[in-house]
Amino acid sequence: MGFLAQHLHCSFLLLPAIFFCSAAYFLLNRYYSSTSSAPPKKHLPPSPPGLPVIGNLHQIGRHPHRTFAALARRYAAPVMLLRLGSRPALLVSTGAAARELFKNHDLLVSTRVRIKTIEKLFYDAKTVASAPPGDYWRHAKRVQSFASVRAQETNLVVERLVAASRRGARVDLSDVATCLSNDVICRVAFGGKSTSSNRFKELLDELMSLLGGYFVGDFIPSLFWVNWVSGVNRRVDKTFKEFDDILESVLIEHEKNGGVKTSDMGEEEGKSFVDVLLEEQKDGKSGHFLGRDNIKALLLDMFVGGTDTTATLVEWVMAELLRHPDIMNKLQHEVRTVAKGNVNENDLDNMTYLKQVILETLRLHPPVPLLAPRELMEDCTIMGYNLAAGTFIFTNAWAIGRDPNRWADPDEFQPERFANRSLDDSVHAFDVVPFGAGRRGCAGRSFALATAELLIANLVGRFDWALPDGGKAEDLDMSECTLPTIHLRYPLLAMATPV
Ligand code: HEM
C-alpha cells in the first residue's frame, strides 16, 4: 500500500498562481494573529523551512523517499516535522524512532490519513487499508492461504519461459512478475482470470498513480478547487466508476452461478474470496458489516495491496541477481540442490539463502518506501516532542533500511548480512520495515512472500539468466520510477536458458 508521488507536477503547474494569491492572505492572517495573545510554546521536532501556504509541499519531488531521507540526514533528525499545505506531517527515518512510535504509541497511530481522493477511490474508506480501526476493519483483515493457485500459476510461467527461450526471445521479467501476481490475486479473489483483462490492469495503474498523487487541493482545504481545475477529481470519478462497474459485474456473475466450483481453486482452498464474502453476506454471519460496497472494497484491497507490491519485489530481486552473478550462482546452487525440476512450496523451507536474498532486497528496495501513511488520533508526546492530533505520519522504510548508523556498506547488496537473522527478527528489531508495523501492518505478508519465493525459486532453479546482447552486469540500469511503489524505471529484460 502506498501513497506519495509523481502526479504532483500536474497540480504544481498551478502552484505559482496559488502561491502569490495566498501569500497576501497568509501575511494578513499572521499580522492579526500576532496581535492576539500567543498560546504556550510547544516542543516541536526539527523542521526544514517552508513557504507560506504550501509549507514543504514543493520539496517532495519525484522520489519522496529519497528527498525525505536526505532531509533527515541533513538535519541529523530521526524525526522531523514537515508542513504539507495546512497539514503537519511527522517524518520517521530511523528504526529506533519507528520502534518508539509503533511499540509505545501503536494505538494512537492506527488510523490512516483521511484524504478525499483516497477515500473516494476506496468506497468511502471501506477497504481494510483505508478503514478506521474498529470492528469492521478487524473483521475484514484476513487473507487465506491458496497455495495451489500459486503453484499452478507459477508452473504456467515456467512453461511460457521455456517456450520463449526456445524461440531465443528476450524475457521481460517486469512483465512476468506483474502478470503472475495479477493472475494469482485474480484467481484468489474471483476464482478465475476473466477479469484480469488489459483494461483492469490499466485501471489499476491509474489508481496507483492517483494514490501516488500529492494533490494540492487535498492538503490545503481552501484550495479544493485546484483538484477540480487540474482534472484530478474527474480522473478519480472515472477510475472509481470503471472499477465499480467491473466489480459489480463480478458480483452479479457469482450470484447467478452460485460460486466457482471447488475444483477451479484447488481442493484445500475451497471458494474464491468473492464467494466467501457473498456467502457471509447471505448468511448474515457478518451482521451489518458486509454491504455490497464493503464486498467490492475488500476485493479492491487485494488488488491494490497485493499485485504491484509483490511484482515489484520479484523485479528487484531478479535485477540484483543479474547484477551480482556470484550471488545468482550461490542461490541457483541452493535451489537446484533442494529441488529437482519445478520447485514447490514445501521445498521453500529448506532454502535459507533464498530468504536472505529476499530480505536483503526488501532492505534496499522496500516496495512501498513510505509505507501507507497514518494519522495521529490524539494530541500526544512522542520522543519528547509535542504533536497535534491530525498530524500525518510518514515512516521511511527506505531510509531505515539504508541507515549508515545501523548497516555497514548500506548501499551494497549483501544477502549474507541476514545469515543469522530471520525476517521476523529484523522486523521485531525495526531493522527493516517493508511490511509496516503494529496493528496496521501488512495483511498479506505471508501470502506475498510465498508467491514471491515460489516464483523466484522457479526462475533461478529452472533457468540460467543473462542480460541481452552480452550486456555487462554492472551496466544494468537500476534507476527507479516512483508510483506509490518503487519500480525499476525501465522494464527488466533478460535471456533465459532452461537447465
Ligand atoms: C511484497 C509484497 C507486499 C508489501 C511490501 C506490502 C507492504 C505493505 C505495507 C507497507 C503496508 C502498510 C503497513 C503499515 O501501515 O504499517 C501494507 C498494508 C496492507 N497490505 Fe500489504 N504488502 C505486500 C503484499 C500484500 C498482499 C499480497 C496483500 C493481500 C493479498 C496485501 C494486503 C494489505 C492490506 C489489506 C493492508 C492494509 C492493512 C491495514 O491497514 O490494516 N499486501 N502492505
Given pLDDT bands bounded at 50, 70 and 90, which one contains residue 165? confident
Given pLDDT bands bounded at 50, 70 and 90, which one contains residue 38? low
- Element (H or E) spanning 486, and its range? strand 486-488
81: β partners? 90
465: β partners? 496
Predicted ipTM of the assembly:
0.99
Question: Which ligand 1 atom is at minimum distance from the Cα of 447?
Answer: 27
Question: Which ligand 1 atom is at minimum distance from the Cα of 371?
Answer: 10
Q: What is the gyration radius of the CA atoms in the chain, in angstroms? A: 23
Per-residue pLDDT at 14: 47
pLDDT in tens, 389-400: 999 999 999 999
The dihedral through the CA atoms of 336, 338, 341, 344 has a sign that is negative
Mean pLDDT, range 162-168, rounded to an integer: 86
Pocket around ligand 1 at a 6 A CB cut-off:
1, 128-129, 141, 143, 301-302, 305-306, 309-310, 313, 367-368, 371-372, 434-437, 440-444, 447-448
pLDDT top residue among 496 and 289: 496
80 CA to centre of ligand 1 in angstroms: 25
Question: Which ligand 1 atom is at minimum distance from the Cα of 312?
Answer: 1
Q: Pick from 57, 61, 68, 56: which is nearest to 371 by CA?
A: 68
Given pLDDT bands bounded at 50, 70 and 90, which one contains residue 272? confident
Question: Which ligand 1 atom is at minimum distance from the Cα of 131?
Answer: 40
The answer to whether residue 175 scores a pLDDT higher than 80 is yes
Per-residue pLDDT at 219: 84
DSSP state, residue 430: T
State percent of the chain over pLDDT 90. Answer: 50
- Element (H or E) spanning 373, and its range? none
Q: Kindly write down the DSSP assignment for every residue of 54-115, as one continuous string.
A: TBTGGG--S-HHHHHHHHHHHTT-SEEEEEETTEEEEEE-SHHHHHHHHHHSTTTT-EE---
Given pLDDT bands bounded at 50, 70 and 90, which one contains residue 59? confident
pLDDT in tens, 77-94: 999 999 999 899 999 999
Q: What's the rounded Cα separation, in Å, for the pair 497 and 201?
A: 29
135 CA to centre of ligand 1 in angstroms: 19
434 CA to centre of ligand 1 in angstroms: 9
Per-residue pLDDT at 245: 93
The answer to whether residue 7 scores a pLDDT higher than 60 is no
397 CA to centre of ligand 1 in angstroms: 13
Q: What's the rounded Cα separation, in Å, for the pair 491 and 487?
A: 9
Phi, psi of 480 (to 5 degrees): -105, 150
Per-residue pLDDT at 362: 97
The answer to whether residue 11 scores a pLDDT higher than 90 is no
Pocket test for ligand 1, best of 122, 178, 276, 309 (most atoms within 8 A of CB): 309
pLDDT top residue among 464 and 138: 464
Per-residue pLDDT at 285: 64
441 CA to centre of ligand 1 in angstroms: 7
Mean pLDDT, range 454-479, rounded to an integer: 94
pLDDT in tens, 417-436: 999 888 889 989 999 999 99
Per-residue pLDDT at 134: 85
Cβ partners under 8 Å of residue 164, min gap 6? 171, 496
The answer to whether residue 135 scores a pLDDT higher than 60 is yes
pLDDT top residue among 18 and 190: 190
In the structure grid, which three cell numbers stand for residue 413, read together? Answer: 547488496
pLDDT top residue among 473 and 137: 473
Given pLDDT bands bounded at 50, 70 and 90, which one contains residue 262? very low
Q: Which residues are annotated as a binding site for heme?
A: 442
Inter-CA distances, 50 with 47, 58, 83, Å: 8, 9, 7
Per-residue pLDDT at 296: 92
Mean pLDDT, range 71-77, rounded to an integer: 94
pLDDT top residue among 32 and 250: 250
Per-residue pLDDT at 269: 53
Given pLDDT bands bounded at 50, 70 and 90, which one contains residue 4? very low
Per-residue pLDDT at 68: 95
pLDDT in tens, 310-327: 999 999 999 999 999 999
One-letter identity of residue 176: V
Q: Which residues are annotated as a binding site?
A: 442
Per-residue pLDDT at 493: 96
Phi, psi of 421 (to 5 degrees): -135, 130
One-letter identity of residue 154: T
Helices marked H in 191-231 — which ranges? Answer: 198-211, 216-219, 224-229
Per-residue pLDDT at 145: 58
- Element (H or E) spanning 446, and its range? helix 445-462
15 CA to centre of ligand 1 in angstroms: 33
The answer to whether residue 44 scores a pLDDT higher than 90 is yes
Inter-CA distances, 203 with 196, 309, 442, Å: 11, 16, 23
Given pLDDT bands bounded at 50, 70 and 90, which one contains residue 9? very low
pLDDT top residue among 144 and 152: 152
Judged by DSSP in three states, 482 sits in strand
Mean pLDDT, range 122-140, rounded to an integer: 85
Mean pLDDT of the chain: 85
